Amino acid sequence: MKICTSCVIPETSETINFSSDGSCSICKQIDFKHTKIDWQSRSEEFDIILNNYKNKNKYDCIVPYSGGKDSTYTLWYVVKKKKLKPLVVRYDHQFYRKNSEENRERTLNILNVYFVNFKSNFEIVKKTMLESLIRRGDFCWHCHVGIASYPLKIAIEKKIPLVIYGEPSAEYSSFHNYDEIETMDEEKVNSTTNMGINAEDMYEMLCERYPDKKFDKRDFDPFIFPSNRELKVNKINTVYLGNYVPWDVRKQVEIIKSELNWKEDDVEGIPSEYGYEKIECIMQGVRDYIKFLKRGFGRTAHLTSIDIRNGRMRREKALELVKIYDGKKPKTLSLFLKIIKISEDEFYDIVIEHIVYPSKKWDKEEEKLKTSNTTLKDFDSWISKEI
């Protein structure tokens, strides 16, 4: 398997390509970000955009929010640096952890912002998790699509024409490049977010899989992404903060820890020094594990590659950490299987059909033995729940 000569991301990562010197397109994008962009000019462009919306409506903008490091920093930045009055909108995927909820409470209270939280029908959520796992090898369809769709539906409903997201996808993938200004629209959702399954598709798929169950189409409305025409008619403008200020996760984490008392947490499958990464969801370790089974690399490769690109880690050290942490079966897999009601053998049988790793298929009995040593401190409270 070919691996980038600069970072440790392999060819099985979605969207990337390699140049003649063996470095990947993401590394090239970050080099462009560091050396070619006039960030002062970008910052001035951002101010011009904000001035078109500030003090024009009940709220100046919407900030889609999960409570993780990126959305927390974005919210802090627009409130404290740009003096905006946002409406904070969260699609609640229903797997938030205790520490994350405490971070949310502190953040909202310190920043004195208004907050909308939305939960979907959990029985529908569980069925979409299994369906998207079977069809795409990724159980997070409801989360991806809900996060993309719901804040824009609120923007239209409440006539708030500016929506500010955090990091652009060019920071971590090659769907877009740093030389373009990214927006959230139908094209992006269909190519990078919904796995080729829109809400109407999911409704039909579940009706087909469960012919005796009567699904209500209204339960799928939160997942329907507004059409480009709807966005245009309602004059909705979507921007990514990271297109206008240079994104630096480690620096931003230090800011939100200092300013908002934002606290880190343990996460399965990554070194403890990355306690700021993906701390919101109890299922993160399972998702990263599935990615490893499918593509041959996990979140440690992703995180150490970011540090390499920012001059904070040697590639040799990254390779050592990847070998230690990536590819271990998380303890939360048992919780995941309980929720979607399949066996461990059925889980491996499903995932093995989605492998893109260019070698022989792995043996599920061997994979079962590669267990992570990490036990989340809130695991027992989750596994004991009636789900």
Model pLDDT for residues 151-181, shown as the tens digit of each residue: 999 999 999 999 999 999 999 998 889 999 9
Q: CA 303 to CA 86: how far, in whole Å?
A: 30
* Closest by CA position to 299, among listed 190, 247, 372, 363: 372
Buried b (16+ CB within 10 A) or exposed e, 338-376: ebbebeeeebbebbbebbebeeeebeeeebeeeebebeb
**pLDDT higher than 90, residue 225:** yes
pLDDT at 359: 60
CA distances 372 to 65, 270, 282, 285, Å, are 30, 10, 15, 10
Q: Global pTM?
A: 0.96
Q: CA 17 to CA 173: how far, in whole Å?
A: 10
Report, as an integer, the average pLDDT of 309-320: 98
**362 vs 307, which has greater pLDDT?**
307
pLDDT band at 386 (very low <50, low <70, confident <90, very high): confident
pLDDT at 230: 97
CA distances 241 to 93, 203, 309, Å, are 23, 34, 20
Instruction: Name the phi and psi angles at 38, rounded to 5.
Output: -85, 95
Q: CA 275 to CA 292: how far, in whole Å?
A: 20
**pLDDT higher than 90, residue 194:** yes
* Closest by CA position to 188, among listed 159, 205, 163: 163
Report, as an integer, the average pLDDT of 347-355: 96
Tell me the residue type at 302: H
For the chain, the average pLDDT equals 96
- The structural domains of the chain, with segments of one domain joined by +, span 39-243, 278-383
CATH number at 39-243: 3.40.50
pLDDT (tens digit per residue) in 11-54: 999 989 999 999 999 999 999 999 999 999 999 999 999 999 99
pLDDT band at 314 (very low <50, low <70, confident <90, very high): very high
pLDDT band at 115 (very low <50, low <70, confident <90, very high): very high
